[in-house]
Chain A
Amino acid sequence: MCVVVRFYNVTKIYKNNSVALNNVTLHIKKGEFIFLVGPSGAGKTTLTRLIFREDLPTRGQIVFNGKNVVRLRPGEIPFHRRKIGMVFQDFRLLPQRTIYDNVAFALQVTGASNHWIKKLAPEALKVVGLEGKAKMYPEQLSGGEQQRACIARAIVNNPLLLIADEPTGNLDPGTSRELMKLFQEINGRGTTIIMATHAWDIVDSMKKRVVALSGGKVVRDEESGVYGHGA
């Protein structure tokens, strides 16, 4: 009940026969903050893509919030995705829209009324500290600010789960630490967070649960873990 994501013996083999995930079993509880670590090609992104139902596992089952993700009908997929916020390394903001409009867009696509949008979008911008830059365009913002905008867009729907794939990959250490504070704050409000990252110093300093993948297998899973060396 308080488990948000369950993986049961999940294997993902891509069409070119590369095994991205190999028999992964994993439970993620509500409110957890999980670092997904491992070398390049270990399967971190693949794992998040499967939760988001961007792709289907080759074998095994994935349950999100009590629903089997593998058996979602096509029409249910958008509604499944609305419960998950996504943050990317490359931000993926729409360049021709203002920061406010980018955040509002997340509500618009769900068919929210203008009334709701006007209430929720400023709130989300306030959480990430961008209320003063709402009218600016992405290119007028620094990388860290753009990532904050991306986070505001991801949380404006109040998702159950926030997935961040290398969110600090393009940012300097100082900015990265600032962003980590923000993620922790969001996690403190009850949002479960899965973060794939190579930033070992951040992982080591935050003392959260660490799931280490290597060659598609979970090689380590520890509470208040560290990045570890070689894996």
Chain B
Amino acid sequence: MGHSAAGYYFKEAVNSLVRNNWLSLASVGVVTVSLFILGCFLLAAINTSAFINTLESMLEINVFLESNLNKSEINHLKEQLKFLPGVSEVEFVSREKALENMLTSLGNEKDITENLDENPLPDSFRVKTKSVELAPQVAANIYKFNGVSNVIYGQEVVERLLIVTRWIRITSLTSVVVLGLAAVFLISTTIRVSVFSRRKEIGIMKFLGATNWFVRFPFLLEGVVLGFSGALLASIIVYLVYTIIIDKIAVTMPFLPIVGQMDKLAPVYLGLLVLGLLIGAAGSSISVHRFLKV
């Protein structure tokens, strides 16, 4: 392809965009909205997963043992726990250690326990799971073991969090898919209008011996430019909104682990741009293949 052809493609694509300005604008708008939602979802997902990770390091299952167990029974139980699927770490906490821990954590209110004549705490295991999602199942399994009197973990927090993330995932992915399809459809409509408004020229190109690709390329380019513009806009808006939110949260809720490093966020923006290109290419391919049979 000579450079006259490259210039030609670009000029044609731009001309066409200007000609169908309303439809072009609508296509870009829908791409922007759908990718904005996707961007928000991805950032939310990154942050919840960071949040879950911090929780994960804190979260453990406390397995309280019956008081009548001897040392070998305890060791046997420990081995059983270690080999349970989903378990990553098992640590034995003797009742003496537990009391000590409790006294340290109580600090000034030590006197409450000072007049206890007997250690009320049982022996226990601290069990960590490979991921938070596994905690409920692992806990349920441990509860069935002999010698276990009670199992306690941050059940409610984990379950809530899982429900919320699942809900966010379903709604945002559904809307992204629906809006993405709408974007593909709108772009394909824009390109179809573009093809029809230039059918005379296309006819002339064909009898002058233009290849299919030569005829089709400006239209494909037009779709890709539409998709990419929408994606660029979406990325910019997502970036601005996210920056504002980070600043707000840093002030009001400094304990939340917000992901701010660009190396973790760059893939999101890159992904949005690539997806925009793909939406544009898909939309224009549909029309170009249906309406530009040579």
Contact = CB atoms under 8 A, between A and B. Distances in A.
B4 A113 contact: yes
Nearest to A83: B209
Given A74-B294, A77-B294, A114 B4 contact: yes
Interface string B161-172: 000000000000
Contact of B3 (A75, A80, A114, A153): A114
Contacts of A74: 212, 294
Contacts of B205: 105, 109
A79 B2 CA distance: 17
Contacts of A54: 207
- Interface size of B as a range: 20 to 34
A156 B201 CA distance: 18
A117 B203 CA distance: 21
Interface string B188-209: 0000000000001101111111
B291 interface: no
A78 B211 contact: yes
Interface string B114-132: 0000000000000000000
B208 to A, nearest CB: 5
A109 B214 contact: yes
Nearest to B214: A109
A65 to B, nearest CB: 14
Interface in B237-294: 294
Contacts, number: 61
Nearest to B8: A108
B112 interface: no
Given A108-B8, A109-B214, A114 B207 contact: no
A108 B4 contact: yes
B140 interface: no
B1 interface: yes
Contacts of B201: 94
Nearest to B1: A111
A78 B209 contact: yes
Interface in B211-254: 211-212, 214
B5 interface: yes
B214 A81 contact: no
A112 interface: yes
Nearest to A106: B208
Contacts of A77: 294
Interface string B1-41: 11111001000000000000000000000000000000000
Contacts of A112: 2, 4
B210 interface: yes
Nearest to A97: B201
Interface in A74-96: 74-75, 77-82, 86, 92, 94
Nearest to B293: A74
A7 interface: no
A111 B214 contact: yes
Nearest to A80: B209
Nearest to B15: A96
A81 B209 contact: yes
A157 B209 CA distance: 10
Contacts of A79: 209
A7 to B, nearest CB: 20
23 contacts: A74-B294, A75-B211, A78-B206, A78-B209, A78-B211, A78-B294, A79-B209, A80-B209, A81-B206, A81-B207, A81-B209, A82-B208, A86-B207, A92-B200, A92-B204, A94-B201, A105-B205, A108-B4, A108-B8, A111-B1, A111-B5, A113-B3, A117-B4
Identify the 8 closest CB pairs spanning chains A and B, nearest first: A82-B209, A109-B210, A81-B209, A113-B2, A114-B4, A78-B211, A78-B209, A106-B208
Interface of B: 1-5, 8, 200-201, 203-212, 214, 294
